[in-house]
A and B are shown apart, each in its own frame.
Chain A
Amino acid sequence: TAGITQAPTSQILAAGRSMTLRCTQDMRHNAMYWYRQDLGLGLRLIHYSNTAGTTGKGEVPDGYSVSRANTDDFPLTLASAVPSQTSVYFCASSEEGLQPQHFGDGTRLSIL
């Protein structure tokens, strides 16, 4: 089934460790996004990429980095995790910036 695959599904991580959340899409969408979802705050954009080779900062980029080496993959890296990064992370993609975004199933990350 076409769509977005996120891995891992969930993870418990010690503070100070690094972690990369993986996101792969097979829809050949140009735009990809990373959000975090926290209770009462909805979704907040961390980073985005309008096309392969380009990335941009969203609303809450600090502590996170991304890369977009090709169309399909958009990994999110936490270089040194902190407890405030405990959240559910969603990856999304769209054909272009205007189009509806399609979401992965999310990664539940707990930083202890």
Chain B
Amino acid sequence: AQKVTQAQTEISVVEKEDVTLDCVYETRDTTYYLFWYKQPPSGELVFLIRRNSFDEQNEISGRYSWNFQKSTSSFNFTITASQVVDSAVYFCALSEANSNYQLIWGAGTKLIIKP
């Protein structure tokens, strides 16, 4: 079974719309970390956020926000007032204490922001 599921393969929205990227994870560890990375069309991978399993506070960074819900094993990412520059593939990843903290990646969601 996939440990990190990003069910949305591709999302397309018009600029200025809000958009939420879903991430559902599966783990038996009590200590784990969740990450989001961005891969713009240029191909590099950019770290966005890391959240540990003991901190369920939501995080906001400018137009980006993350909603961590242990009850539903989800770590969703919302972009408010999207911009064309947000177009990228976004990856959610899980790091478990019992797996030597190796990153397990979701398949990614391709986000297209149309002008």
Pair B47/A105 contact, Cβ less than 8 Å:
no
Interface residues on A, range: 20 to 34
B-side interface residues toward A, CB under 8 Å? Answer: 4, 9, 33, 35, 43-45, 47, 50, 91, 93, 95, 100-103, 105-108
Pair A103/B44 contact, Cβ less than 8 Å:
yes
Interface residues of A in 69-105 (CB under 8 A from B): 88, 90, 92, 97-98, 100-103, 105
What residues of chain A lie closer than 8 Å to B100, measured between beta carbons? 50, 56, 97
**Total inter-chain residue pairs, C-beta < 8 Å:** 44
Pair B50/A100 contact, Cβ less than 8 Å:
yes
List the 6 shortest-distance A-B pairs measured between CB atoms, nearest first.
A42-B105, A97-B101, A103-B45, A100-B47, A43-B105, A42-B107
* Consensus secondary structure, chain A interface: strand
**Known A40-B107, A41-B107: A101·B47 in contact at CB below 8 Å:** yes
For the complex, what is the distance from the CA of A98 to the CA of B102, rounded to whole Å? 8
Name the contact of B105 in the complex, choosing from A44, A48, A100 (C-beta under 8 A): A44
